Amino acid sequence: DQQVKQNSPSLSVQEGRISILNCDYTNSMFDYFLWYKKYPAEGPTFLISISSIKDKNEDGRFTVFLNKSAKHLSLHIVPSQPGDSAVYFCAATPAWGGAQKLVFGQGTRLTINP
C-alpha cells in the first residue's frame, strides 16, 4: 500500500521555466510534509517543508503547495536552473510521528535542459 505516491518518475524542463513536481497521499493522518532533493552518489538533503495548517510555504525559488482536501502537494521551482537536476522525494508524517513515521514517495527525477 503506497501511502505517498509520486506518479511521474521523471520530468524534463527547460532552464528558466517553472518545474512542478507532484505528490499524492492517502493517509488523512499525515499533516507534516517534506521535500528532499538527491544528487547522484549523495544522500537526500532536506529542501522545504509544510505543515497542514498552511497551504503554501516559500523559500527562495522553491514553493510547496498543499491541498488537504485533495490530499495533494506540489513543489514549484521558479526559475529552474541546471543545478536543480536531481531526484526529488516527497515525504509525509503525522505531526506526532517523528522521523520514524516518515513515509517517502518513490521520487521524481528532474532534468533541467539548458
Partner 1 sequence: DSGVTQTPKHLITATGQRVTLRCSPRSGDLSVYWYQQSLDQGLQFLIQYYNGEERAKGNILERFSAQQFPDLHSELNLSSLELGDSALYFCASSVGGGPGANVLTFGAGSRLTVL
Whose Cβ is closer to partner 1: residue 83's or residue 96's? 96
Q: How many CB atoms lie within 10 A of CB 38?
A: 16
Q: Which is nearer to partner 1, 46 or 82 (CB)?
A: 46
Q: Which three cell numbers stand for residue 59?
A: 523559500
- Contact between 1 and partner 1 by CB under 8 A: the answer reads no
Cell numbers describing residue 82: 541546471
- By beta-carbon proximity to partner 1, the closer residue of 80 and 89 is 89
Asked if 38 and 58 touch (Cβ cutoff 8 Å), the reply is no
From 13, 22, 20, select the one nearest 82 (Cα to Cα): 13
Binding letters toward partner 1, positions 3-42, x by CB under 8 A: -x----x----------------------x-x-x----xx
